[in-house]
């Protein structure tokens, strides 16, 4: 077993709210320098920079998990994580069918850059990725789990775009693998939500939109045999000697 330092909520420059410095190669380079073993690239409603991040990480010792931060029709943010690119591609195609038809306004929201592993521009994404999909939280969870992925309720301590802020509770029928507290969660805000999250595992992530966010933001330690999603799932479940530490 080994302890791995993981950040499961990192935005690349595909997210219009992220800085242009959040390129795949720059994220990986800073992960190595900061001792981050596992990084999930989780852009808003899209995953077009994940493949570049995987290629940029080759030989670095950093494991990249394909991911996405989905905004549901309830305006809830859910982190969706996958092991295999083939499953992630299916998920990306599914989400794309349920995204808003609105076009992005770069002057208002920022540009959405797709780049390669050398950080060279490939294209600019025209769709408005910050808009809600027409998928419900239940639909997201069911589809992700059918593909073998994990679903984590993002930044549940925040006053907007979280499962608790939008619904006021966690639906008992909703299957979540964990909930995430943000870097701004203090003792009081976290404590107010303890009764609402029940026995769900709690992780901390950076929700990085800048390199400084990424380097200084919170991480979660996973005690696992290897940096795979299957191992991390067991750690969240505290099974077979695996566990997490915030």
Instruction: Look up the CATH number of the domain holding residue 205.
Output: 3.20.20.140
Helix (H, G, I), strand (E, B) or coil at 80: strand
Is there a contact between 201 and 220 (Cβ–Cβ < 8 Å)? no
Question: Structural domain of residue 18, as residue ranges?
Answer: 2-245
**Helix, strand, or coil (residue 116):** coil
Q: How far apart are CA 126 and CA 195, in angstroms?
A: 41
∠ Cα 150 152 156 (to 5°): 180
Closest CA to 126 of 21, 46, 42: 46
The count of structural domains within the chain is: 1
Mind listing the pLDDT tens digit of every residue in the chain (246 residues)? Answer: 999 999 999 999 999 999 999 999 999 999 999 999 999 999 999 999 999 999 999 999 999 999 999 999 999 999 999 999 999 999 999 999 999 999 999 999 999 999 999 999 999 999 999 999 999 999 999 999 999 999 999 999 888 899 988 988 888 899 999 999 987 755 455 555 555 677 889 999 999 999 999 999 999 999 999 999 999 999 999 989 999 987
Q: From residue 33, how far is each of 61, 67, 186 by CA, in Å? A: 11, 22, 27
105-141 confidence digits (pLDDT tens): 999 999 999 999 999 999 999 999 999 999 999 999 9
- pTM (predicted TM-score): 0.93
Q: Are 184 and 158 in contact (CB under 8 A)?
A: yes
**89/93 Cα distance (integer angstroms):** 6
């Amino acid at each position: 077993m080994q302890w791995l330092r993981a950040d499961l909520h990192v935005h690349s420059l595909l997210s219009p709210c992220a800085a242009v410095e959040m390129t795949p190669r720059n994220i990986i380079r800073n992960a190595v320098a900061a001792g981050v073993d596992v990084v999930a690239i989780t852009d808003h409603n899209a995953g077009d920079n994940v493949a570049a991040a995987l290629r940029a990480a080759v030989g670095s010792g950093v494991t990249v998990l394909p991911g996405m931060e989905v905004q549901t029709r309830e305006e809830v943010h859910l982190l969706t994580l996958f092991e295999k690119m083939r499953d992630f591609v299916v998920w990306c195609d599914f989400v794309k069918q349920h995204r808003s038809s609105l076009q992005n306004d770069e002057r208002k929201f920022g540009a959405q850059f797709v780049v390669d592993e050398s950080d060279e521009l490939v294209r600019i994404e025209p769709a408005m990725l910050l808009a809600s999909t027409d998928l419900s939280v239940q639909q997201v969870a069911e589809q992700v789990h059918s593909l073998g992925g994990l679903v984590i309720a993002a930044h549940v301590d925040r006053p907007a775009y979280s499962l608790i802020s939008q619904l006021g509770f966690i639906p008992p029928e909703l299957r979540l693998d964990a909930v995430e507290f943000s870097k701004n969660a203090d003792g009081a805000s976290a404590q107010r939500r303890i009764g609402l999250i029940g026995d769900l595992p709690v992780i901390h992530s950076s929700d990085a939109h800048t390199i400084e966010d990424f380097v200084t933001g919170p991480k979660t330690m996973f005690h696992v045999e290897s940096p795979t999603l299957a191992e991390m799932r067991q750690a969240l479940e505290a099974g077979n000697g695996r566990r997490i530490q915030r």
